[in-house]
Amino acid sequence: MRKPAPNKPFIESKRRTQHGKSVIRNNPKKDERDLVLPINMTASSESDFLTKYDLFVSEVLDTGFVEIVTSSQPTVAYKCEYKDCQQYQEFMQGMAKFMLLLTETNPKDRIPTVYNQNSQSQGNT
């Protein structure tokens, strides 16, 4: 998650009247990045798993969006679009495994949505 996002390519121009090429290097911008997120879903029974799985599908996969906030960086949110489930291992011995392919569309927008709402409501009380 902490791997830096790549920069977008600089603007380049090749003119027949000039040697080489000209490159505009000012104001570099970050590009989107793909990441693979491993998920281990645990459950006490198959019915418990199906309940959790249905909730996961409806809240993440069906909406196509996931916001990831970690305990080590509670003020940073990785806002990602769901692209695909690259690998899925059926529920067995209390756990199912997924490998989700996500795209962080704007690596400069990492302000948690939930954090913003909580901090604003706490500031009003």
pLDDT tens profile 71-92: 999 999 999 999 999 888 988 8
Residue 42 has pLDDT above 80, yes or no: yes
Q: What is the pLDDT of residues 90-121, one digit of tens each?
A: 888 999 999 999 999 999 999 988 654 444 44
Whether 123 contacts 52, CB under 8 Å: no
C-alpha neighbours within 13 Å on the C-beta side of residue 84? 4
